[in-house]
C-alpha cells in the first residue's frame, strides 16, 4: 500500500517537473519568436525605406536626364534661330518683328526655368513639364518664323526672276534704241553729206604778169585755183562763202585774207570768194591770189572750205 502511494507521489513530482520544463520551453519559444518577429519587422521597414530612397533617386535621375535632353533641345533651337536670323538678313523684305519678340520672350522664360531647375537640389516634375511646354511653344514660334522666311524667299525668288526678265527686256530695248540711234546718226550723216556742196575739176596754176600760164613757179605773179560746183538739190540755196588756203612747200600759209571757222577753230585763209548758189551747177569758178613773196619749187597744198567743212584738199608739184 505504501509502495503504491510512493509511486503516485513520484509520478506527480515528475509530472510537475515536466509541466515546469514545458512552460519554460514555451516561454523561451515565445520570447524567441517575439524577438525574431521584431527583428524581421525592422528589416522589412529598413528594406522599404531603402526601396523608397532608390525610387526617389531613380526618379531624380530620370528628371535630370529629361532636363539634360530639354537643355540640348533648347540649345539646338537657339542655334536654328540664330541661323534663321542670319538668313533673314539676306532676304529682301521685312520679317514680322512680333515673332522675334515672342521668341525672345519665350527664350527668357526657358532660361529662367533652366536656372531654377539647376539650383534645385531635388528636381521637380512640375517644373520639367513646364519646361517641356515652353520648349514646345518655342518650336511653334520657330516654325512660324521659318515659314515667314520661306515665304519671303519665294517672293524674292519671283522678284529676282521678274527683275532678270525686266533686265533682259531693258537690254533688248537698249539694243534697239542703240541700233535706231546708230541708224538715225548714219541717216543724219548722210543727210549732212547730201546737203554739202561738192567741187569737181579742181586745178592749180601759176600766171605771169600777162595773165598767161607760167611753168616756172619762181616767176609767177599770180596763183589761180579753178573748180566747178555741180548741181545738188539737197543743198540749201543762197549765198556761199568759199575760202582758199594755199600752203607752200616750206609749210607756210600764203596770203592773209582773214579767218573762218572750221571744227571749232579759227583758220587763216589765203583768199576768199562769195557766190550765189541756186542748186544748179556753177562751172569755171576761179579764185586768184596775187603773189607778194618769193615762191620756191616743190609741193603746194590747196584746200577749199565752205559752211564749216572742207570741200577738197589736194597737192600740186610746181617746178622751176
- 312 and 217 in a common domain: yes
Q: Is residue 36 part of a domain?
A: no
- 244 and 187 in a common domain: no
Judged against a pLDDT cut of 80, whether residue 289 lies above it is answered with: yes
Q: Is residue 188 part of a domain?
A: yes
Number of domains present in the structure of the chain:
2
pLDDT top residue among 261 and 49: 261
Q: Which pLDDT tens digit goes with each residue over 160-182?
A: 777 788 888 878 877 777 775 66
Q: What is the pLDDT of residue 192?
A: 46
- 188 and 85 in a common domain: yes
106 CB burial (10 A radius; 0-12, 13-18, 19+)? buried
Q: Is residue 205 part of a domain?
A: yes
- 249 and 234 in a common domain: yes
- 168 and 148 in a common domain: yes
Closest by CA position to 218, among listed 253, 248, 246, 247: 248
- 215 and 309 in a common domain: yes
- The domain boundary residue, chosen from 195, 224, 252: 195
CATH number for the domain including 219? Answer: 2.60.40
Q: Which pLDDT tens digit goes with each residue over 110-134?
A: 777 677 667 665 567 777 787 778 7
Q: Per-residue pLDDT averaged across 268-292, rounded?
A: 94
Average pLDDT, the chain: 80
- 160 and 210 in a common domain: no
Distances (CA, A) of 191 to 3, 124, 142, 239: 182, 97, 71, 20
Q: Is residue 250 part of a domain?
A: yes
Q: What is the pLDDT of residue 188?
A: 47
Q: Per-residue pLDDT averaged across 250-254, rounded?
A: 95
- The domain boundary residue, chosen from 176, 195, 214: 195
Q: What is the pLDDT of residue 274?
A: 95
- 187 and 57 in a common domain: yes
Q: Could you tell me the pTM of the whole model?
A: 0.44
The domain in which residue 172 lies consists of 52-195
- 191 and 66 in a common domain: yes
- The domain boundary residue, chosen from 195, 216, 233: 195
pLDDT top residue among 88 and 257: 257
How is residue 69 written as a grid cell? 535632353
Judged against a pLDDT cut of 90, whether residue 21 lies above it is answered with: no
- 215 and 182 in a common domain: no
Amino acid at each position: 500500500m505504501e509502495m503504491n502511494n510512493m509511486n503516485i507521489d513520484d509520478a506527480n513530482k515528475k509530472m510537475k517537473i515536466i509541466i515546469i520544463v514545458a512552460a519554460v520551453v514555451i516561454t523561451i519559444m515565445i520570447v524567441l519568436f517575439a524577438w525574431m518577429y521584431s527583428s524581421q519587422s525592422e528589416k522589412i521597414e529598413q528594406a522599404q525605406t531603402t526601396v523608397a530612397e532608390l525610387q526617389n533617386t531613380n526618379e531624380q535621375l530620370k528628371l535630370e536626364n529629361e532636363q539634360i535632353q530639354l537643355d540640348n533641345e533648347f540649345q539646338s533651337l537657339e542655334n536654328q534661330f540664330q541661323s534663321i536670323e542670319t538668313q533673314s538678313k539676306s532676304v529682301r523684305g521685312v520679317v514680322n518683328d512680333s515673332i522675334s519678340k515672342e521668341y525672345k520672350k519665350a527664350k527668357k522664360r526657358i532660361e529662367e526655368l533652366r536656372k531654377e531647375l539647376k539650383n534645385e537640389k531635388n528636381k521637380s516634375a512640375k517644373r520639367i513639364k513646364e519646361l517641356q511646354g515652353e520648349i514646345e511653344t518655342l518650336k511653334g514660334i520657330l516654325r512660324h518664323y521659318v515659314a515667314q522666311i520661306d515665304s519671303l524667299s519665294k517672293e524674292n525668288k519671283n522678284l529676282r526672276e521678274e527683275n532678270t526678265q525686266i533686265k533682259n527686256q531693258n537690254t533688248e530695248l537698249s539694243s534697239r534704241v542703240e541700233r535706231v540711234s546708230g541708224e538715225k546718226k548714219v541717216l543724219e550723216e548722210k543727210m549732212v553729206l547730201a546737203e554739202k556742196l561738192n567741187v569737181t575739176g579742181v586745178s592749180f596754176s601759176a600766171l605771169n604778169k600777162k595773165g598767161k600760164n607760167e611753168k616756172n613757179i619762181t616767176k609767177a605773179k599770180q596763183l589761180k585755183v579753178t573748180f566747178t560746183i555741180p548741181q545738188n538739190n539737197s543743198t540749201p540755196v543762197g549765198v556761199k562763202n568759199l575760202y582758199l588756203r594755199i600752203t607752200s612747200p616750206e609749210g607756210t600759209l600764203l596770203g592773209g585774207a582773214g579767218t573762218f571757222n572750221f571744227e571749232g577753230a579759227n583758220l587763216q585763209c589765203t583768199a576768199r570768194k562769195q557766190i550765189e548758189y541756186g542748186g544748179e551747177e556753177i562751172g569755171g569758178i576761179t579764185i586768184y591770189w596775187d603773189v607778194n613773196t618769193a615762191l620756191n619749187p616743190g609741193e603746194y597744198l590747196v584746200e577749199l572750205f565752205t559752211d564749216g567743212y572742207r570741200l577738197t584738199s589736194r597737192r600740186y608739184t610746181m617746178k622751176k
